[in-house]
Structure 1
C-alpha cells in the first residue's frame, strides 16, 4: 500500500498528537479525514492549511456508532474512495496531571467506563465502520494508539492505562479476524510526549526524570511518534499484524 493518495482517517485528528498524525500523513501525500468532536475551529484551520482537496474535517463522537458510520460514508463521498488507513487516536477528556489523577482509593467505575468507552468502544466503532471499505479494496491498515504505561506505570493513571491495555487485546484479536481480508491491525504505544495538549499539565521535572532514564536522553516528541504511524500504514509493514510497537526513546523494552 502506498501512502500517497491513500484515504486516511485520524480520530481526534485536529489537536494534540492527532494534529501531528494528520500532518504526517498529509506530508506524504495522503488524503486525510480529520475527525474532531469539540475542536471545530482547530479542525477547520488545519484543513484550510492542508488544502480542502487533501483534507476533510468531520465532526463525530467515536463512542456513537452511527456518527462514525456517517463520518466514514461522508469521507467516501468526498474523496470518491474508501478509507484504507484508520488511526484510532481519539482521547476522551484526559490530562496527564499526576496530582489531579484518580488514585486507587478514589477511582470510580465511572472513571473506568469513560476511558473504556473512548478507547475501546470508540476503536471498535471505527473498525466496524471502515472494514467493509477495506475489504472491498483488498487491503487496509488499522493503527491503534496505546501507551507504555501498562509496561512501566511510572505514574499510575489507572483508568487510562486499563483502557489502553484493553485496546491492545482488541488489537490482537481483531488482527486474527481481519488478516484473511488483507487488513492489518497494530498498536503504537508512546510514553509521555513532549508536548501535546494532554501532557501540557505535566511538570517539567517529570519530563526531566523520564528523559534521564531514556537511552536517547530525551522525551519523544509527537512528531517522532507520528512518523512511526507511516510505517504501519505502508507496504513496509505488510507482514506485520497484531503487534505493539513502543515508541519512547528506549525507556521501555517490550
Structure 2
C-alpha cells in the first residue's frame, strides 16, 4: 500500500499594519486613484503617488503629507520606467514597496451612448486597454516582486469592474481587458502565495463621480441608484475604503478573490 506524504503546512502569512506599509498607487493623483492614495495616507502608510501627466495634482497631494507621500512620474506601460520608479521609491523611503494598487486607467470615458458596438469595434481600442491594464500590472508586479520576496510580505490589488459579471453597457475593450486582469489575478495568487504575497481584485460599478464617469448622464446614475439594494451609487471614498481591506491584516488569509463593491447591484 502506498502512502502519501502530506506537505507540511507553512506558518501563518506575515501581516503588516497599514501604517507600516509602503504603497504604490498607479494613477494615484486624480480620480479614484487620488481617493485611494488619501485613504492609505489617512491610515499612516507611506504612499508613492504615480502619475503620467497630472504633475500638479500629484505634487499638491504629496505636499499635504510631507515625509509620507512621494509623487513620481512613470508610464506604467513602460517596464523600464516602472523599474526606475520602484528604485527611486525604495531609495526615498529606505525600504521596498510592500503594496501595489494597480489603478491606472488608459484614456477612457464612461459614456455608453458614445461607445462603439460590435460592428465598429477596432482592435486598436482593445490593445490600448490591454496595454493599460494587463501589461501595466505585469510591469508593476515584476518591479516590486524582489522587494516583496525579501520581506516575505506583499499585497497586490487590481482594480476591476462589475461589467465582467454584468456587461450591460458595450464597453467591449475596457471589459475584456479587465476580465483578462481578473484571470491574471487568480493565476498570480497561486504562483505568489508561497512567498507571502496576496493578489486580489476589487471591482466597482459606476462611481459617483470621477473624471472617467463625468460624462455619464445623470439619468444613468439615478437608474443605478434605483436598482441597487442600498439605493445609492458607490462613491470613490467608499470604494477606496474597500481597497484598504485587502491590504490590511484582516485580509491576510484572502487571495485570488474578486470583491464587487457596488452597493449590491451585482451579486458575485
TM-score band w.r.t. shorter chain: over 0.9
Runs of 4+ aligned residues of structure 1 deviating over 2 Å after TM superposition are: none
Q: What is residue 49 of structure 1 aligned with on the other side? A: 64
Q: In the alignment, is residue 239 of structure 1 matched against residue 246 of structure 2?
A: no
Q: Distance in 1 between matches of 2:117 and 2:110?
A: 13
Q: CA deviation at 1:98?
A: 1.2
1:186-240 per-residue CA deviation (whole Å, 9 max, x = no partner) reads: 0000000000000000000000111111000010000000001111101110100
Q: What is residue 143 of structure 1 aligned with on the other side? A: 157
Q: CA deviation at 1:178?
A: 0.3
Question: Residue 122 of structure 1 aligns to a residue in which SS?
Answer: helix
Q: What is residue 60 of structure 1 aligned with on the other side? A: 74
Q: What is residue 102 of structure 2 aligned with on the other side? A: 88
TM-score where L is the length of structure 2: 0.93
Q: What is residue 199 of structure 2 aligned with on the other side? A: 185
TM-score where L is the length of structure 1: 0.99
1:39-59 per-residue CA deviation (whole Å, 9 max, x = no partner) reads: 1111011111122x0100000
Q: What do you get for the CA RMSD once the two structures are aligned?
A: 0.6
Q: Distance in 2 between matches of 1:100 and 1:251?
A: 23
Q: Distance in 1 between matches of 2:168 and 2:36?
A: 25
For structure 1, list consecutive stretches of 5 or more residues without a partner in the other structure: none
* Structure number with bigger Rg: 2
Q: Distance in 1 between matches of 2:48 and 2:20?
A: 12
Q: CA deviation at 1:5?
A: 2.9
Report if aligned partners of 2:116, 2:170 keep a CA contact under 8 Å in 1: no
Q: CA deviation at 1:4?
A: 0.4
For structure 2, list consecutive stretches of 5 or more residues without a partner in the other structure: 1-15
Q: CA deviation at 1:34?
A: 0.1
Q: Give the count of matched residue pairs.
A: 253
Question: Residue 99 of structure 1 aligns to a residue in which SS?
Answer: helix
